[in-house]
C-alpha cells in the first residue's frame, strides 16, 4: 500500500493489475459457470470446473497461499485478500471462491513440517486440489479451543492413539487428510496440545454432517482408537497450539476480505436495481431513503476494506498483526451483514427469491460473524490488548 499524488491510500500497481485480472476472469469465465448452477450448489460439475481451473493455472493463481516451490501461487497476505475479495463475487460466495477455480490450499501449517510430510501430504494436495480439513474446535467449547480440547493422543511405541471428537469441521467429508489438535498433556494446559497429520484412510474415523443455515455444512469428526504414526506429528510435542494460533491469525484477513467481496457484489446489484425500478412515479434511486442506504453501505465497505488491507499489509511486513486482524474480522463481517440486509430491503421481495443470490449470501454472512472466532471474542482480544496493563494509577500532584 502507498500514497498516490492525491494523498489517498492505494494498492501497488502489481496488485491493482491482479485485481483487474481476477475481476475480468470472474465476469467472463466464472459467471458463465455460475449462471448454470443451482441456487444452493456447493460445487461445480467437473466438465464446467476443469476449464476454469486450467485458466486459473495459466494466470498463476493456483493454491493462492501455498509456496511456489510446492506448486502454489505463493501470494502475499495482501494479494490473497485482493483475490479473495473479487473471487467471492459468485453465488457460492467466499466459501467456494470463484466456484473452486483456484484449487485448494492445504492448511498452511503443513509447510512447517518435515520435508517428508510436505512431500507426502502438501504437494499432492496442491497438485490435485485435494480436500483437507483443520480440526481444532470441539463440542465442549469452540471460542476457547485451547483450554477446551479434550481429544487425547496417547503415545504407544512408535505411534499415538487418538480418541475424541471435533466439531464444526469444514470439508471433513471426502477429505484426503487433515490437521488434528489433541491433548498430550494436562487438561486445560495450552502447552499440552500437539498437532497431528491424520490420513482419512486410518481406521476409526467417522464423520457426521451438522446441518446449518448455509448450503455448505460442517461436520463432526470422531476418532476412536485411531493409530497415528509418530512421524505424523507436526512440530514438537506439546507445542501444537502455537502452530494453530499463528494459522488462525493469518486466516482472518482473507476471511474478512471475502465478506467484503460478497457485500460489494450485493451493493452493485442493489444500485442497478434502484436505477431501473420505478415506484410511486419515480425511480427508487431518486428516493432519499434509498440513497442513504446506498451511501452508508459504500462508506462502511470502504472503511472495512482499508482496515482489512492494512492488517494484511502489516502481516506481510513481518509485524504482529493479531489485533489488526481481529479488528478487521469484526468490522468486515458485521459491515457486510448490514450491507447485505440493506440490499435485500432495496430489492424488496425479489431480494429473498432464488432468482437472486442475495438470500444465499445473507445466510452465509450470518455465519461469518461466528466463524474464525465470534465478534465478541475478538472484541475481548482488542480490549485486553488495550487494558492489559491494568488500571492506570493517577499521577501525584506536582
Distant-in-sequence, close-in-space partners of 271: CB < 8 Å, separation ≥ 6: 285, 294
Q: Which residue from 326, 284, 327 is spatially nearest to 303, judged by alpha carbons?
A: 327
pLDDT in tens, 369-389: 999 999 999 999 999 999 985
Give the per-residue pLDDT at 6: 45
> Is the model's pLDDT at 147 over the cut of 90?
no
| Residue whose C-alpha cell reads 452508508 in the numeric block | 296
pLDDT in tens, 58-104: 999 999 999 999 999 999 999 999 999 999 999 999 989 999 999 99
pLDDT in tens, 7-52: 457 899 999 999 999 999 999 999 999 999 999 999 999 999 999 9
CA 150 – CA 193 distance, rounded (Å): 10
Give the per-residue pLDDT at 216: 93
Distant-in-sequence, close-in-space partners of 332: CB < 8 Å, separation ≥ 6: 256, 257, 259, 260, 304, 305, 307, 308
> Is the model's pLDDT at 215 over the cut of 70?
yes
CA 94 – CA 10 distance, rounded (Å): 23
Residue ranges of domains in the chain: 2-128, 132-234, 247-387
Cα angle value 175/168/220 (rounded, 5°): 65
pLDDT in tens, 167-210: 999 999 999 999 999 999 876 556 689 999 999 999 999 999 99
Topology of domain 247-387 in CATH is: Butyryl-CoA Dehydrogenase, subunit A; domain 3 (1.20.140)
Fold match, 2-128 / 247-387: no
Give the per-residue pLDDT at 205: 97
Q: What percent of the chain has pLDDT over 70?
A: 92
CA 147 – CA 329 distance, rounded (Å): 23
Q: What percent of the chain has pLDDT over 90?
A: 83
- 239: pLDDT confidence band, cut at 50, 70 and 90? confident
**Mind telling me the catalytic residues?**
372
> What does pLDDT average to over the chain?
92
CATH superfamily of domain region 2-128: Acyl-CoA dehydrogenase/oxidase, N-terminal domain (1.10.540.10)
Q: Which long-range contacts (CB under 8 A, 24 or more apart) does 354-363 make?
A: 354/39, 356/269, 357/39, 357/91, 357/93, 357/265, 357/266, 358/266, 358/269, 360/39, 360/40, 360/91, 360/93, 360/214, 360/215, 361/93, 361/262, 361/265, 361/266, 363/213, 363/214, 363/215
87 contacts 26 by C-beta, under 8 angstroms = yes
Cα-based torsion angle of the residue sequence 227, 154, 131, 91 in order, rounded to the nearest 10 degrees = 140
For domain 132-234, the CATH class is mainly beta
Cell numbers for 8: 489517498
Model's pTM, two decimal places? 0.92
CA 165 – CA 233 distance, rounded (Å): 18
CA 60 – CA 91 distance, rounded (Å): 23
The count of residues in the chain is 398
Amino acid at each position: 500500500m502507498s500514497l498516490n499524488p492525491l494523498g489517498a491510500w492505494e494498492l501497488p500497481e502489481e496488485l491493482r493489475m491482479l485485481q483487474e485480472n481476477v475481476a475480468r476472469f470472474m465476469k467472463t469465465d466464472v459467471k458463465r459457470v455460475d449462471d448454470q448452477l443451482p441456487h444452493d450448489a456447493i460445487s461445480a460439475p467437473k466438465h464446467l470446473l476443469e476449464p476454469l481451473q486450467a485458466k486459473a493455472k495459466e494466470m498463476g493463481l493456483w493454491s493462492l497461499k501455498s509456496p511456489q516451490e510446492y506448486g502454489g501461487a505463493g501470494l502475499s497476505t495482501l494479494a490473497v485478500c485482493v483475490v479473495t475479495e473479487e473471487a467471492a463475487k459468485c453465488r457460492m460466495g467466499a466459501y467456494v471462491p470463484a466456484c473452486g477455480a483456484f484449487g485448494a490450499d492445504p492448511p498452511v501449517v503443513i509447510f512447517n513440517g518435515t520435508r517428508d510430510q510436505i512431500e507426502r501430504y502438501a504437494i499432492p494436495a496442491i497438485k490435485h486440489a485435494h480436500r483437507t480439513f483443520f480440526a481444532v474446535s470441539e463440542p465442549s467449547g469452540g471460542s476457547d479451543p485451547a483450554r477446551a480440547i479434550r481429544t487425547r493422543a496417547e503415545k504407544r511405541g512408535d505411534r499415538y492413539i487418538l480418541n475424541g471428537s471435533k466439531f464444526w469441521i469444514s470439508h471433513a467429508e471426502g477429505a484426503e487428510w487433515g490437521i488434528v489438535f489433541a491433548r498430550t498433556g494436562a487438561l486445560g494446559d495450552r502447552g499440552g496440545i500437539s498437532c497431528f497429520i491424520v490420513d482419512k484412510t486410518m481406521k476409526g474415523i467417522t464423520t457426521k454432517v451438522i446441518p446449518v443455515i448455509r448450503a455448505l455444512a460442517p461436520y463432526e469428526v470422531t476418532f476412536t482408537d485411531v493409530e497415528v504414526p509418530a512421524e505424523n506429528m507436526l512440530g514438537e510435542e506439546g507445542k501444537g497450539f502455537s502452530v494453530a494460533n499463528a494459522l488462525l491469525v493469518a486466516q482472518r484477513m482473507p476471511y474478512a476480505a471475502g465478506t467484503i467481496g460478497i457485500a460489494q457484489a450485493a451493493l452493485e446489484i442493489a444500485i442497478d436495481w434502484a436505477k431501473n425500478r420505478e415506484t410511486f412515479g419515480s425511480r427508487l434511486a431518486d428516493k432519499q431513503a434509498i440513497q442513504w442506504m446506498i451511501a452508508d453501505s459504500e462508506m462502511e465497505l470502504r472503511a472495512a476494506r482499508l482496515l482489512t488491507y492494512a492488517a494484511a499489509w502489516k502481516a506481510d511486513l513481518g509485524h504482529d498483526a493479531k489485533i489488526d486482524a481481529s479488528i478487521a474480522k469484526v468490522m468486515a463481517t458485521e459491515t457486510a451483514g448490514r450491507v447485505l440486509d440493506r440490499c435485500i430491503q432495496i430489492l424488496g421481495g425479489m431480494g429473498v427469491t432464488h432468482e437472486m443470490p442475495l438470500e444465499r449470501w445473507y445466510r452465509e454472512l450470518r455465519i461469518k460473524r461466528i466463524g474464525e472466532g465470534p465478534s465478541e471474542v475478538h472484541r475481548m482480544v482488542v480490549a485486553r490488548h488495550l487494558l492489559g496493563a491494568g488500571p492506570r494509577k493517577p499521577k501525584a500532584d506536582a
